[in-house]
Structure formats: structure tokens, C-alpha cells
Amino acid sequence: MKNRNRGKVSPKWIAILCIFSFALGMLFSNRVWTPPESDGRIMFGRRHKQERDLASVSDNCDSKNSQKEDIVGEFNKAEVAIHSLDNSIAKIQSELPSIRRTEAVPSTSADSERNGTRKKAFMVIGINTAFSSRRRRDSIRETWMPQGEKLLRLEQEKGIIVRFMIGHSATSNSILDRAIDSEDDQHKDILRLDHIEGYHELSAKTKAFFSAGVAKWDAEFYVKVDDDVHVNLGTLAATLARHRLKPRVYIGCMKSGPVLYKKSVKYHEPEFWKFGETGNKYFRHATGQIYAISKELATYIANNKRILHKYANEDVSLGAWLIGLEVEHIDDRNMCCGTPPECEWKAQAGNICVASFDWSCSGICKSVERIKHVHAKCGERPATLWGALI
């Protein structure tokens, strides 16, 4: 009995343990359990945060959509601008050739500068001359070149322009320049070029002639002649007229001589190495005493004169400028007849020569003394020129 009483717990301790357990439970419940009011506030806070997040996302979406719309708008504007630029470029490209033709070369004519127009012509003939060649010029005026009213009539009725071409001296307003000006006042047959005269500057002078000719006259052909060559103008006009429907022609006596590499010879070519091995020949080109080119080729030279390379010999230079173009080379041996008796025999046979000179002198030997004789034996009848159908 005594042992059984020892195992029982006193009611007093049971009451104390119950109170302690209740207090401990209340304390624990206050720390981990959130009242309904607090839970509501938390839920409300979370919901408010979610709404703000959604609003932020919506704003971001709206912003991105707006940015996309802005980008699309800018792209459309850029596309329109590019299209407009393409049209402008195409228009400029279409207008460029005509602009270059009219602006590439300054006009040498006061009338052309004032009126902004060029005179129509069939052919423009430039007779290459020098300050010291007054007697040669006078001998041509007395033979195959019309003077005074006849020269003006030739221009008006036939569209044939004939001028001595010469540049300027190295000294401004020198006695040489004044003498040429005085001579032109008398004869009205000299074309002054934007060029400084010099024997080794013939290639540059040729470019200057085509530039001035194209600027002043709208001609079908441009012809270069030396001042010691006899020319039949009517026969020349008839010869060129046969080729007037061809767009690009280069007419003359074609040759292909050896490239002269020795410094001691007259026509030495300093750039001989460009033509290949020693002993090679030049490409085919017209002899320099007389040749003709059509309008498109003269315009090409005028527009590109600053970048066209000049060789020592003027006829080689012209051939080089044209060799890479779509050009028809026409070899006409009537443009390089010999002086009497050769041109005389041809005239008697009814085959009048276009031009006559001596190959040995690269022109008529002692032309001042002999050109009248050549004209008497080989010259065409006046009706050939004035009756020419151009």
C-alpha cells in the first residue's frame, strides 16, 4: 500500500502543471498565429503590390508598343527619304551629261557667253599656226582659204568655219600677242586659245582647240590642219558628209610608225617604254598634218582634257585618247596626197585630193613659196565648194 501511494501525483501539482501549460500555449500562439485583421492587411498589401506590378507591366507594354510605333514611323520616314534621294540621284545623273557639255569648257566667244548658245555648223577647221608664221598664214589666205565677205558667207551658207588657231605668249600682253590681235582685227579669222604657245606643247594645244571649238560651235565635225598644208574645202566637206550619220568617226591618213626611243632623233618619244619592247610600233593613228573627228569625240576630249595624257607627239596623243573608245577609224588616202605631180595627176583624173603636202617635210616644203603652185595644179574649182550639198 505504501508503494502504490508513492506513484500517484498530487492534485495540487496537476493544477499547477495545467496552469503552466495553458500559459505556455498562449505565449506560443501569440508569436506564430496572426490575427484575422493582420492577415487582411497583409493580403491587402500583397494585392496592392500586385496591382502596382501589373500597372507597371502594362505601362511597360504601352511604352514598348509606343516605341515600336515610333520605330515603325521612323522607318517609314527613312524609306520615303531614301526613295526621294534615289529619284534625286537619278535626275542628277540624267542631267549631268548636258551640264558637263555646257560647263566643262569656258566659251571663247563673247557672244556665246552673253547668249548662252552655240552656233550650229557643219565643220570647224582649226589651222595650227605660230607667232612666227605670219607669211604662212598670208599664203593660205591667198590660196585655199576664203577672205572677208566670202568667209562670212561660207559660214552662213555652208556651216564651214575656218580659223587660224593660236594661244598666247608666256608674257602677258606681249608684242607677239598684240601683233596677233592686230592681225585678227584686220582679217577676223583667228581663234585665240587658252594655251601658252611652245613647240613641245602641241598635244596641249590640240586639246585647247577642241575645247574652244566645242564651246563656241555646235558642229558635226572638228578638223585640225597644219599651216603648211594645201586643202580643198569643198572636197573635204563632201568627204566628211559621207560619214555624218556615224556617231563616232576618226578620219585621216592612218599610220603606225616605229616608236622612236633615241634622244637624238626629231620625234623622240621619252615614254617609249610604255609601248612595249624596243622596236615596237605605235598603235594605228592619223598623221598630224590633217585629221577630223566627229562631235561626240571632240566633246569627249573637251570634257576630259585635264586627265588625258599628253605624249611627245600630238598625233600619237590623239590616237591614244581615242584608242580605248568605240570609234570607227577611217583611213582616207586622199587626205595625204603628195604635191605635184601626184595631186595634179589625180586632179586630171577627176579624183581631187582633200589635202596635199610633202611627207619628207611633214608639210609642203617651202610652203610660202610653193603653195600657190600647188593650188594652181591641185586646187578644186570654186563651184565644188559653193555647190557642195551639205
Helix (H) or strand (E) holding 294: strand 285-294
Whole-model pTM: value is: 0.71
120-386: CATH topology: Spore Coat Polysaccharide Biosynthesis Protein SpsA; Chain A (3.90.550)
User: What pLDDT does residue 263 have?
Assistant: 80
pLDDT at residue 238, as a whole number: 97
Give per-residue pLDDT as tens, 10-63: 666 677 777 777 666 665 555 444 444 445 555 555 555 655 655 554 555 555
Mean pLDDT of the chain: 83
Number of H helices, E strands in the chain: 14, 9
Q: Residue 160: its pLDDT value, please? A: 98
Residue 44 DSSP code: H
Contacts with 136 (C-beta within 8 Å, 6 or more apart), sequence order: 129, 227, 228, 367, 368
Residue 195: pLDDT over 70 = yes
Query: Using one digit for the tens of pLDDT, what is the confidence trace for 266-300?
Result: 777 888 888 877 778 889 999 999 999 999 999 99
Comparing 95 with 367, the larger pLDDT belongs to 367
Question: Band of the pLDDT at 117, cuts 50, 70, 90?
Answer: confident
Segment 153-190, tens digit of pLDDT:
999 999 999 999 999 999 988 999 999 999 999 999 99
Report whether pLDDT(6) > 70.
Answer: no
CB contact at 8 A, 358 and 219: no
pLDDT band at 93 (very low <50, low <70, confident <90, very high): low
Boundaries of every domain in the chain: 50-103, 120-386
Find the mean pLDDT for residues 229-249.
Answer: 97
Tell me which amino acid residue 99 is: I
pLDDT digits (tens, 9 = 90+) for 30-42: 544 444 444 555 5
> What is the model's pLDDT at position 203?
94
Report d(CA 317, CA 300) in Å as an integer. Answer: 14
Residue 87 pLDDT class (50, 70, 90 cuts): low
- Between the ranges 77-81, 105-109, 196-200, where is the mean pLDDT highest? 196-200
356/291 Cα distance (integer angstroms): 13
pLDDT at 99 over 50: no
Q: What is the mean pLDDT of residues 70-75?
A: 59
By percentage, how much of the chain surpasses pLDDT 90?
A: 60
